[in-house]
Amino acid sequence: MPPTCLSMYIAFLVLGCSFVTIVNAFSLNKSSSPAIPNHESVQSSLTNKMILAPLTRGGNLPFRRLCADFGMHTSVSEMIYARSLLRGDPIENARLRRSEGESIFGVQIATNQIDEGVNAIKRAVEMGADFCDLNCGCPIHEATRRGLGSSLLRSPKKLQKLVRGLVESSEIPVTVKIRLGCETNSINCLENVRAAREAGAAAITIHGRTAQQGYSKNADWDLIRRAVMETKDDGYGHIPIIGNGDILTYYEARRRMEETGVDSVMVGRGALCKPWIFKEFNDNATWAPDTKERVQIYRVLANYMKDHFGDDDMGRKKSWNFLPWHFEFLSRYTPYPEEDFAAQSIDRPLIQNRMVLPDHTDPLDVLLANRCSDAHEVIASILWDSDSDETAVQKLNIFAESQDFKRILTTGSVNEGEDKVLSNLPKGKAGKWGKRRGRKPGPKRTEEEIAQIRAERAAKKERILAEGGTWPP
């Protein structure tokens, strides 16, 4: 081959290889680019469902796993502080994990900065989250003093900017959970719903109370209904609106969906009281497990905690942050058959009821309904140590008829921190000057005021015990 032809041939090969390299590189970049968030798939998972709410402490992985056993389809993690997560906090990192059986799992973050939120969402994506939920409803001082949680509701414009920034940079759909407003005298639910949907939120959950109300008032489902109507009238009907507040039974959930037009309902305390509420919703029927069946369910929760935290002394220590605490809610369980309580639930949410045990109630039922933390400690220990359901029932029965439990029924829990509570000292570790950071301590009660409060509590306890109730109520 002549030298000129050879040179041209080599040049052609070089150009060809370069072109192939460029094409391959382009194809590689194209295939590795972030996927467009699948809003339709997530939105369908948030329609006609009962969703487990993000529950601080209660929404731990073993409990969500138990709810999944009863047909829970969609759930949200405990609230995660984005800043702490990005700093490598091991507790916040652990909250990114999903349990077995969680079909659709969302991670809820607390942030007020776009870059911080985007980076937290990336961590959630790495852990397999299906969507990310922005917390705009947490009322606790630890969150609001940082400009997080419900404090975001004070400015719909700033909220819209934050949500838009997260949506535009997120690989997964972004949802928003709000309350009716921050303060009771500044309810701006409709404005915040409008801001979130126009910013591209894939779904919006509305808790029917203000942050200031906490759980002290009945949820305002009429305002939730107005938000649904406005969303549909403005052409945003494809965005699911999820209602939250005072749901304890499947028929209350169905009625709220029918009356307000919400696409789904979210449950928190209702699931803590009876994790099988998801089964009831899916079956459209009340399920009233007997005492032995409930012991079996509670023992499953204990075993799930062993699986998650470890079946050793350290695992037990970690589990004890959760297991005894769960009985604060599990002890409130009362069966509410639809035929007997549907009419009553229209006037007053059943979750607000405090039932008094009838005379001659089985001792084990009395134990499981007891609200004393001392009893919860014993119940948790028996469930943890028992190697079978039968053994757990036997040991619980023995304790239910013991003098130790009778003493608890008579005296209630020994509150070693009563004086601190009555003297207005803050919860947790006090600072150098015995006050919360960023908040002036309230006036301390006098000895006379403390004595009066104690006398009123003693009289209340005596009255409730005389009526056949349990103490604490």
Cα–Cα distance between 204 and 177 in angstroms, integer? 6
The total number of residues written for the chain in this structure: 473
H or E segment at 109?
Answer: strand 104-110
First to last CA, the chain: 101
Catalytic annotation on 132?
no
H or E segment at 110?
Answer: strand 104-110
CA neighbours closer than 13 Å in the CB half-sphere of residue 392: 25
Beta pairing class for 264-267 and 241-244: parallel
Cα–Cα distance between 470 and 65 in angstroms, integer? 31
Cα–Cα distance between 129 and 42 in angstroms, integer? 11
Catalytic residue among 67, 132, 138, 273: 138
**Measuring CA to CA, which residue among 138, 140, 161 is closest to residue 150?**
138
Chain centroid, CA 418 distance in Å: 29
**Measuring CA to CA, which residue among 40, 43, 75 is closest to residue 59?**
75
Cα angle 196, 123, 24 (rounded to 5 degrees) comes to: 100
CA neighbours closer than 13 Å in the CB half-sphere of residue 166: 37
Active site residues: 138
